[in-house]
Chains A and B, each alone.
Chain A
Amino acid sequence: MRKRNYSNVDYSYSSLPSTRKEAFKDVYRHNFMTIFKSGVFLLLSFLPLIAFMIVMEINKMFLTLDNYSESDLFGVLFVWDLIVHIGFVILFTLVVLSLSGVFRIIKLLVFQEGIDFFYDFKKGIKENFKPFIISYFIYITIYLLTYLLQLFFLNQFVGIMTLVLFHIVFTPAFIWGLFSINIYDAKLIKHIKNSYFFYMKTLGFSLLYVFMMDLPILISFIFYENIFGFGVNFIFIIIKNVLLVLALLFFYPFLLVVGSLYSNSKFDLFINKLHYPEIYQKGLYKSK
């Protein structure tokens, strides 16, 4: 039998995280595989969407003036865009399903609780999916309305700015809403109110967080197709999706841990200390 080395000293309270920053390092060090597994589940839920987008992007490469007249092309591109949006809305529900489970896993991780991955993932879906999907449909409906509205603007810059404005007004609140739902059992309207409260209280961080969430997508714009020839465009599509896969495995799950830790620190400050002392600073070990 192989001889085993033991630690000479007890693993003490002082070795445990006492700040959120330490908590992140701790989760990263001790639970990397759990976070990675969460990423795998996110990726699996994204696969239909990725496949759909690849098909649509390849399809778009054939929508050129060589194949259509200028007047027809405008209509065809509009229909293409509409299909992409409808497809996205439908297939993203699968991602919301996965996020419901992943959020519970992340919550347990930052609370330093034991995890039975598959059971807790399923339990997360059971607990979170309904409020998550309702929030998502509210959010996506507002987005689609904004998208349709911006089509009426002749000035493309104004159109883009409308979408950016939507992003600034609604996306951080939507994310705060998800973190709030993950912790508290309350009516949706209360979560919406809370999410705007916390968004306003943490404006800088919230916008930075959304920017970080968008970062892989912004990077993928470097590989914007339909500029070069078919071969290069095809390679760009592959690169873009490989980047997305990597981001889903190694970036987004960790960003969710950061978001969860940060949101918990704010929940502690404004809610938990007074109303939920049992989860106040949960996962942090100040002293025994």
Chain B
Amino acid sequence: MDITFKNVSVLYENKKRDIITAIDDISFSFTSEKINVLVGPSGCGKTSLARCLTGEIIYEGEIMYGEKDLEKIETKDRNISYVNENYTLLPNVNVYDNIAFPLRLNKVDHDEADQIIKEVTKYLDIDFLLTRKTKYLSLGQISRVKLAKCFVKDSDLYIFDESNRNLDEENRNKINRYIKDRLKGKTIIFITHNISEALSIADYIYVMNEGKYRGRYTPIEFLESNDEVVQNLLSEIKNEKKKLF
């Protein structure tokens, strides 16, 4: 299922009542059944784009969700799993119930749900936390619980919005491996500011800058691109390497 943006814009009012353009008249498509990585400098509109899809913000223009106009699909019927940076867990509920929540909403058979939860949490090394309330967990563990909650659900579209930010490299690699192997054939939008990560996981890399769409690249095309924004993004990796040595 392709996701096509046609002249989509997002405007909002900031605290000073100024009108800010988060997304400025963009038109492009995310490819179905592929890992679509969205990159760009902070504040370029990546999260706003994701939130258009989940129905959290109003947009101008048209978004086609497969064959259908997204606006005509109820948010609950879009079947999207979305992990973002916010605390989207119930703090006074234990890990198991938090992860089981979408499965219960979808009326998945309890034994089947139990098996899925155990399998995913074991993979993410949070199986020993099932009876803990999420308020006792560290940020890294909370991130993994949020990801587990996303993985257990059989969705049409998975959106990972900086979902690996609080994880160490080992866990990041583990999560990315899961996305690559277990979610194969699903449409994935992976938002990150980490270019190394983007290159390692992407089928296609989409670049945004100042609310505008800059282009779509394969990882190799991205590395060879002369686009100024891409060059700036790549320079971050080079700088990181310099810091290391």
**Which residues of chain A have a CB within 8 Å of any CB of chain B?**
1, 4, 6-11, 13, 16, 30-31, 109, 112-116, 119, 123, 285
A285 to B131, CA, bound (A): 13
A37 to B96, CA, bound (A): 17
List of 10 A-B pairs having minimum Cβ-Cβ separation, nearest first: A114-B96, A114-B130, A10-B138, A119-B110, A6-B139, A7-B138, A4-B87, A112-B131, A11-B137, A11-B136
Contact residues in A for B142 (Cβ distance below 8 Å)? 6
**Which residues of chain B have a CB within 8 Å of any CB of chain A?**
86-87, 91, 94-97, 100, 104, 110, 114, 117, 128-133, 136-142
Chain B nearest CB, measured from A111 CB (Å): 9
Chain A nearest CB, measured from B144 CB (Å): 10
Could you say which of B104, B131, B137, B138 contacts A116, with CB atoms under 8 Å apart? B104
Query: Do A114 and B131 touch across chains, with their CB atoms under 8 A apart?
Result: yes
Could you say which of B114, B128, B131, B139 contacts A13, with CB atoms under 8 Å apart? B128
Contact residues in B for A119 (Cβ distance below 8 Å)? 110
Contact residues in A for B132 (Cβ distance below 8 Å)? 11, 30
Residue of chain B at shortest CB distance from A4 = B87
Query: Do B94 and A30 touch across chains, with their CB atoms under 8 A apart?
Result: yes
Contact residues in B for A16 (Cβ distance below 8 Å)? 128
Other A-B pairs, 7, CB within 8 Å; known A11-B141, A113-B131, A114-B114: A10-B138, A11-B137, A11-B138, A30-B131, A113-B130, A116-B100, A119-B110
A47 to B114, CA, bound (A): 33
A205 to B100, CA, bound (A): 38
Residue of chain B at shortest CB distance from A9 = B138
Contact residues in A for B114 (Cβ distance below 8 Å)? 114, 116
Query: Do B130 and A112 touch across chains, with their CB atoms under 8 A apart?
Result: yes
Chain B nearest CB, measured from A264 CB (Å): 16
Residue of chain A at shortest CB distance from B133 = A30
Dominant SS among interface residues on chain B: helix
Contact residues in B for A1 (Cβ distance below 8 Å)? 86
A4 to B130, CA, bound (A): 21
A4 to B142, CA, bound (A): 12
Query: Do B130 and A6 touch across chains, with their CB atoms under 8 A apart?
Result: no
Contacts A11-B129, A112-B128, A116-B100: A4 and B91 contacting too (C-beta < 8 A)? Answer: yes
Query: Do B100 and A114 touch across chains, with their CB atoms under 8 A apart?
Result: yes
Chain B nearest CB, measured from A2 CB (Å): 9
Chain B nearest CB, measured from A46 CB (Å): 27
A284 to B117, CA, bound (A): 20
A261 to B43, CA, bound (A): 54
Contact residues in B for A11 (Cβ distance below 8 Å)? 129, 132, 136-138, 141
Chain B nearest CB, measured from A25 CB (Å): 13
Query: Do A116 and B110 touch across chains, with their CB atoms under 8 A apart?
Result: yes
Residue of chain B at shortest CB distance from A16 = B128
Pairs A–B under 8 Å by Cβ, sample size 19: A4-B87, A6-B137, A9-B138, A10-B141, A11-B132, A11-B136, A13-B128, A30-B133, A31-B94, A112-B128, A113-B96, A113-B130, A114-B95, A114-B100, A114-B117, A115-B131, A116-B97, A116-B100, A116-B104
Contact residues in B for A31 (Cβ distance below 8 Å)? 94, 131
Contact residues in A for B128 (Cβ distance below 8 Å)? 13, 16, 112, 285
Contact residues in B for A6 (Cβ distance below 8 Å)? 137-139, 142
Query: Do B97 and A114 touch across chains, with their CB atoms under 8 A apart?
Result: yes
Contact residues in B for A109 (Cβ distance below 8 Å)? 131
A13 to B127, CA, bound (A): 11
Residue of chain B at shortest CB distance from A6 = B139
Contact residues in A for B100 (Cβ distance below 8 Å)? 114, 116
Query: Do B110 and A10 touch across chains, with their CB atoms under 8 A apart?
Result: no
Chain B nearest CB, measured from A286 CB (Å): 12
A4 to B141, CA, bound (A): 15
